[in-house]
Amino acid sequence: GRVLALQSIHESLGDFARQLASVPAPDRPPLVRNLVEGLHLLLGLADEAVADDDNASTTLLRDLTGERSELMDQVRQELLGGSRTLAGRESLLSATLLFERVLWLLRRL
């Protein structure tokens, strides 16, 4: 169970990074940095929750990875408006979908 979840998280994070890296730096809206930092925070929190069986970390992780569809729709709109190329917009859209997948996987973990 957990091994498969971790493998899926690993694969999704790799895909997330590849999608963002495919967008030239000048075409990456500033919000991209927030997504990356947010994932970094959540992964650290997941590590704490699993390593120490920390109930506070587990509760916080569950709260932070909860349903965020409306917020993610707003993030997508802002990101898509920031890229000048169709390929860049497609990559950013894919990255936001992968971000949501990682959130879902972390919640399940």
- Distance, in Å, from the CA atom of 76 to the CA atom of 50, rounded to the nearest integer, reads 30
User: In terms of pTM, does the model score above 0.95?
Assistant: no
**Dist CA 5 CA 34 (whole Å):** 24
Residue 8: predicted pLDDT: 95
Q: What's the pLDDT at 83?
A: 65
Rounded Cα–Cα distance for residues 35 and 61 (Å): 16
pLDDT at 95: 92
- The predicted pLDDT at position 78 comes to 77
Please work out, in degrees rounded to the nearest 5, the angle formed at the alpha carbon of residue 30 by the alpha carbons of 29 and 31: 90
d(CA 98, CA 32): 13
For residues 32 and 20, the answer to whether their CB atoms sit within 8 Å is yes
Question: Which region among 22-26, 27-31, 34-38, 83-87 has the lowest average model confidence (pLDDT)?
Answer: 83-87
pLDDT tens digits for range 65-106: 887 778 788 877 877 776 677 888 888 889 999 999 999 999
Residue 17 confidence class, pLDDT cut points 50, 70, 90: very high
